[in-house]
Amino acid sequence: MVLGVEVAVAAAPTVVTCANGHRYYDEHQLLLLQQILVLRALGVGLPVIGRILSEQVDEVDALRGHHRRLLAERDRLDALAGTVSRTIAELEQSRKDGNPMTINRPENLFEGVQPSQYAENMSEFPELAEEVGRRAAAMSQADADAGHRERTAQMIRLAELMAAGNTADADPVQAEIDAQYRALARLRAVSAEEYRAIGRSCVDNDAWRTAYETIAPGLAAFQRDAIESYATARLH
């Protein structure tokens, strides 16, 4: 808090600064200083405070935006805490049973899936499904099988990171999610909210959840939480 006071004092205008370094304020400037301290205590950044004081941004609107960001961060931390709790419980049970977390490692989890089936599996995202369907129409089965093997390998790598005790926001996990997002973005631009919805579908969509849980228990929720962390930290 001392640092916050020093920053606020430095930001507030003064009537006069004496040779000994003491600053003197009139009543209006003391009110401004108090406002700066309150906004800093609420976690509002100095650039936003500057715009509020210059009346470029309404204080209530700025606080509403800050409140939305805080709620999003709270939800992200709640999701992460849930993932950590589940992982701890699974690891403790595995140690108690004397068995490590089981990870299935098929070469191609999606063997036999035809390119024409891609779009119907993404019916919740019509614009993305349309682009996927267009790409799939020009794709050979050999190309599709290569993609299936790579996607299976990605899921296995994520399961291994989960089993090793990494949280959903850990750097190695986020590197995997970044690669997934970039592959998706090559099809079309994907917003933060759309990517979050895709993450939720890993749990809510029965077919998707079954695929993840086939690799390792808890992997669907771990993928969802990792996407949530990625969207919050890197997509705006």
**Mind listing the pLDDT tens digit for each residue in 56-110?**
667 777 778 778 877 877 876 776 676 567 666 766 776 677 666 677 777 877 7
Write the burial class of residue 139 (CB in 10 Å: 0-12 exposed, 13-18 middle, 19+ buried).
middle
Asked whether the beta carbons of 29 and 9 are under 8 A apart, the reply is no
pTM over 0.85: no
- The stretches in the chain having pLDDT less than 50 are 1-12, 14-15
How confident is the model at residue 74, as a pLDDT? 80
> What pLDDT is recorded for position 177?
95
pLDDT at 61: 79
Distance from the Cα of residue 11 to its chain's centroid: 33
pLDDT at 10: 46
So what's the pLDDT on residue 211?
Answer: 85
Bridge partners of residue 29, in order along the sequence: none
- Do the Cβ atoms of 125 and 197 come closer than 8 Å? yes
Q: Are 202 and 92 in contact (CB under 8 A)?
A: no
Whether 23 contacts 33, CB under 8 Å: no
pLDDT of residue 174: 96
Distances (CA, A) of 145 to 96, 113, 136, 150: 39, 8, 12, 9
CA distance 188 to 171: 25
The H-assigned helical ranges of 98-140 are 126-137
The tokens describing 143, both together, are 């190309």
pLDDT value of residue 20:
60
Q: CA angle at residue 128 from 126 to 132, to 5 degrees?
A: 110
pLDDT value for 70: 78
d(CA 101, CA 209): 18
pLDDT of residue 166: 93
Give 100's DSSP letter: P
CB-based contacts of 84: which residues, under 8 Å, 6+ apart? Answer: 167
CB 180, CB 158: distance < 8 Å: no
Q: What is the pLDDT of residue 99?
A: 63
User: Whose CA is closest to 47, among 38, 57, 34?
Assistant: 57
How confident is the model at residue 5, as a pLDDT?
38
**DSSP label at residue 165:** T
Buried b (16+ CB within 10 A) or exposed e, 21-57: eeeebeeeeeebbebbbebbeeebeeebbeebbeeeb
Single-letter residue type at 143: D
